[in-house]
Amino acid sequence: MTSERQSLTREDLVHDLRRLGVEPGMTVLVHSSLSSLGWVEGGAETVIDALLEAVGPEGTVLVPTLTGTEEDGPEHPPRFDPATSPCWTGTIPETFRRREAAERSMHPTHSVAGIGNDTRTLIEGHAHVATPCAADSPYGRLADRGGRILLLGVTHESNTCLHMVEEQAHAPYHMQPEPCPCYIKREDGTWEEVVTGLHLWRWDRNFPKIDPLLTAAGAQKTGRVGQAESRLVDVGAMRDLLLPILGDDPLFLLSDEARAEYGSTAPV
Ligand SMILES: CC(C)(COP(=O)(O)OP(=O)(O)OC[C@H]1O[C@@H](n2cnc3c(N)ncnc32)[C@H](O)[C@@H]1OP(=O)(O)O)[C@@H](O)C(=O)NCCC(=O)NCCS
């Protein structure tokens, strides 16, 4: 671990975020690994302050606050309380969602939390989308509204918007066959049933294979934030690049092994 003298401050992080291309007014969905940055003075709170400063008062920071599990389905309907359900996407999102200013979308498996101008527009109606990352979910709207994904010390393996691309391309392996009843806790303490499509966790992906394609198309910038290898991705450009590829090859985002197995069990 880096010594205390070399620890990162908010100013260091803002400087590196700007160098990577994060600009005032941007809307950025951040997938992160705190430990990858090197030692940060003040931990996750400092990283969140730096992200908010980098996008400025006109911008918006979103984090994935995912709660879905492999077991979710008709036998194990997900129950989601936006106020208390912890996310499994790391210390930065878990700290972020607890901030007073953060608003969390009402989705039983794929909620996001946001702070900033565009939050309401992005998260509105997430409870009632047909699939978790549909065109009218925060992930699809992010693409339509010129948003970016920031991968802070993580790879495209953590890029939830790739599920948005799979959903828009109707990737045949991606969803459970039938919508499932799920339960969301409302502010008045009652539980609302929503019937919605859930992901099937069965098939292994190779998301990092898109890295060179995005770089070549000018759809992402790479660089370091602290010690973390990071990427800033234009979500709309990524979607527009990948949809025709999945149109030609619906199994494109699967790992080679999954592709071979899926192809032998459920030919496209
Ligand atoms: C799983 C994952 C979160 C693990 O990353 P990580 O850096 O090990 O863990 P966190 O981001 O939760 O940060 C906590 C770690 O930061 C380190 N840490 C603690 N304080 C710190 C500080 N001040 N400065 C730097 N690092 C610190 C510690 O190692 C801590 O681990 P510990 O709690 O076990 O001691 C990350 O690899 C990942 O996958 N992130 C993306 C998740 C995502 O968005 N998924 C979407 C799926 S579709």
The verdict on the CB of residue 34 being under 6 Å from ligand 1 is yes
pLDDT above 70 (res 4): no
Q: How many domains does the chain have?
A: 1
Report the pLDDT value the prediction gives residue 117, as an integer from 0 to 100: 95
Closest residue CA from atom 37 of ligand 1: 33
Position 1 confidence tier, pLDDT thresholds 50, 70, 90: very low
Q: pLDDT value at position 6?
A: 84
- 265's CB contacts (< 8 A; 6+ apart) are none
Q: Which residue has the tokens 């149109």?
A: 247
pLDDT at 268 over 80: no
Identify the pLDDT of residue 248: 98
Q: Which of 148, 159, 176 is nearest to 232 (CA)?
A: 148
Kindly give the distance from the C-alpha atom of residue 240 to the centroid of ligand 1, in angstroms, as a whole number.
31
pLDDT at 44 exceeding the cut of 60: yes
The domain containing residue 102 runs over which residues? 4-265
pTM, two decimal places: 0.96
> How large a percentage of the chain has pLDDT more than 90?
96
- 205 bridge partner residues: 254
For the chain, percent of residues with pLDDT exceeding 70 = 97
Mean pLDDT, rounded, for 214-243: 98
Q: 6, exposed or middle or buried, with CB in 10 Å at 0-12, 13-18, 19+?
A: exposed
Asked if residues 92 and 32 have their Cβ atoms less than 8 Å apart, the reply is yes
Angle between helical axes of 43-55 and 10-20 (0-180°, round to 10): 50
- Can you tell me the mean pLDDT for 216-224? 98
pLDDT beyond 50 at 243: yes
Average pLDDT over residues 115-143: 98
Choose the residue to mutate in 32, 35, 87, 96 for probing ligand 1, maximizing ligand atoms within 8 Å of C-beta: 35
263 — pLDDT class (breaks 50, 70, 90): confident
pLDDT band at 58 (very low <50, low <70, confident <90, very high): very high
Q: For residue 180, how far is its CA from the centre of ligand 1 (angstroms)? A: 31
Give residue 5's pLDDT band: very low, low, confident or very high (50, 70, 90). low
The atom number, within ligand 1, closest to the CA of 46 reads 23
